[in-house]
Amino acid sequence: MLPDPTPGPAQIHVRVLACGVCRTDLHILDGELADPALPLVLGHQVVGEVTAVGTEARRFIVGDRVGLAWLGRTCGLCRYCLSGRENLCPDARFTGYTLPGGFAEETVADEAFAFRLAADLDPVATAPLLCAGLIGYRSLVLCGDAERLGIYGFGAAGHIVAQIARHRGQRVFAVTRPGDAAAQALARELGAVWAGGSDEAPPEILDAAILFAPAGELVPRALAQVGPGGSVVCGGIHMTDIPSFPYSLLWGERVLRSVANLTRQDGRELLELAARAAIRTEVHPYPLADANRALEDLRRGRFTGAAVLTP
C-alpha cells in the first residue's frame, strides 16, 4: 500500500477517472524496459480531475478535467528540448515508468505536461487517445502523404490511426495476427479497404507502413511491401530483434525509422483532430481491481481496441 501522493510546487493532484492499458505497460512489467522507478504505479493514459494544485501551479484550478500522457517531464534546456524535439530529451521522465502512473485512484503530475480536456468528454473513451492515439498520430505524420497506408497490428493504436488516415483521405490496409477475424472485421468497419493476416501480402504495393506489433520479423515483410521511396515506421517503444534482410529490401530510397515518445505539440494536435474528425475508440472497461486481468487479456489478444481501467 503506497501513501497518498502529495503535489509538489508545480504539480497538480489528480483524481483518476480512467486509465488506458498499453502494451508498454506489459513491456515494463516484463522487465523489457530497464530501470523503472520502484515502487512503481503503471499507467500513462490518464483522464482525471484536478483536486489540488501546488503552491506554484497556475495552469489549472480544482475541478478542471485533464489528461496525462507518457511524457511527464523534460529538462527544457537541452538541444532537443530547445529545438522542438522534447521527445528525445535525455533527462525526460515518463508517466507510469519513471514517474507515478494512473493505475490508481489518484496521482500527481507536473502541470506543464498535463493536457486540458473538455469536461463533457467521456473519460473511458478518451483515455486511449493519450498514448495509442498520440503515438499513432506521430507515426502517421512521419509517413507523409502516403495514399496507400499499411497498419501492422490492429489494436488500440491501429484502430485510432485508421480513422485519422481515412479522415485524411488515405486508403488503409490492415495487417493483423493470422486468423484474427475480430480485428479484421473491426478494420473493415472503420474503413480499411483490405484486412488480412501477417502471413498474407496486401493486394497492392504500399506507400508507407506503420508497425504497432512489437514483432521484429515484420520489418522485412513491411519493407518488401512498400514501394520505392516508401517508409516503414516502427511505432512501438520495444520490439523483438529484427532479423537480417537483403539490402535490396531497403534500396530504392525506402526509409526505415522509429518513433520515440511524443511531444506536447503532438498531443495538442491529436486532441484537436480527434474532436474534429469524430474519432471513436473501441474500449473495454475493467475495474481497477482487475488490472492484472486486463494486462493478461491484452497479452493474449482477447479483445479488439483498447482496455481501460476505471477506479
Is 59 inside any structural domain? yes
Q: What is the pLDDT of residue 134?
A: 97
Biggest CA pair distance of the chain:
59
At position 194, the amino acid (one-letter code) is: W
Q: What is the pLDDT of residue 1?
A: 75
Backbone angles phi, psi at 17, to 5 degrees: -100, -30
Predicted pLDDT at 3: 86
What is the model's pLDDT at position 9? 97
Q: Would you say 51 and 42 are in contact if contact means Cβ atoms under 8 Å apart?
A: no
d(CA 36, CA 34): 6
**What's the pLDDT at 2?**
83
Classify burial at 57, counting beta carbons within 10 Å of its beta carbon; exposed 0-12, middle 13-18, buried 19 or more: buried
Q: Determine contact, residues 276/299, Cβ cutoff 8 Å.
A: no
Q: Is residue 239 domain-shared with residue 140, that is, in the same domain? A: yes
pLDDT attached to residue 131: 96
Model confidence pLDDT, tens digit, residues 132-163: 999 999 999 999 999 999 999 999 999 999 99
Q: What is the CATH number of the domain that holds 137?
A: 3.40.50.720
Tell me the pLDDT tens digit for each residue of 168-188.
999 999 999 999 999 999 999
How far is 106 from 120, CA to CA, in rounded Å? Answer: 20
Same domain for 103 and 148?
A: no
Examine residue 274 and state whether it is found in any structural domain, yes or no.
Answer: no
In this structure, are 116 and 32 located in the same domain? yes
How many CB atoms lie under 10 A from the CB of residue 157?
Answer: 27
Domain presence at residue 5: no
CA distance 272 to 293: 32
Are 147 and 187 in a shared domain? yes
Residue 57 sits in the same domain as residue 164: no
Let me know whether 160 and 251 are in one domain.
yes
pLDDT attached to residue 303 = 94
Catalogue the E-assigned strands of 86-133.
Answer: 93-94, 106-110, 114-117
Cα 285 to Cα 23, 41, 124, 277, distances in angstroms: 16, 19, 7, 23
Look up the pTM and report it: 0.95
Cα distances from 5 to residues 25, 44, 50, 71, 309, in angstroms, run 21, 16, 13, 19, 19
The CATH number given to whatever domain includes residue 45 is 3.90.180.10
Tell whether 286 is covered by a domain. yes
- On whether residue 155 sits in a domain, the answer given is yes
The amino acid occupying position 150 is G
SS3 assignment, position 260 = coil
User: Which residues, listed in sequence order, are joined to residue 218 by a DSSP beta bridge?
Assistant: none
For the chain, how many structural domains are there in total? 2
On whether residue 231 sits in a domain, the answer given is yes
Residues in the chain: 311
Same-domain check for residues 170 and 85: no
Which residues of the chain, if any, have pLDDT below 70? Answer: none
Give 247's contacts (C-beta < 8 A, 6+ positions apart): none
Neighbouring CB atoms inside 10 A of 292's CB total: 11
- Check whether residue 118 and residue 210 sit in a common domain: no
- Looking at the fold, whether 34 and 137 belong to one and the same domain comes out as no
1 occurs within a structural domain: no
Q: pLDDT at position 223, please?
A: 98
Is 46 in the same domain as 83? Answer: yes
Say whether both 110 and 138 belong to one domain.
no
Residues 6+ apart with CB under 8 A from 187: 151, 154, 158, 159, 162, 172, 174, 176, 195
Residues 11, 109 contacting (CB under 8 angstroms): yes
Q: Does residue 69 form part of some domain?
A: yes
Same domain for 219 and 108, yes or no, is: no
Domain span including residue 227:
133-258
Contact 9, 56 (CB under 8 A): yes
**What type of residue is 269?**
E
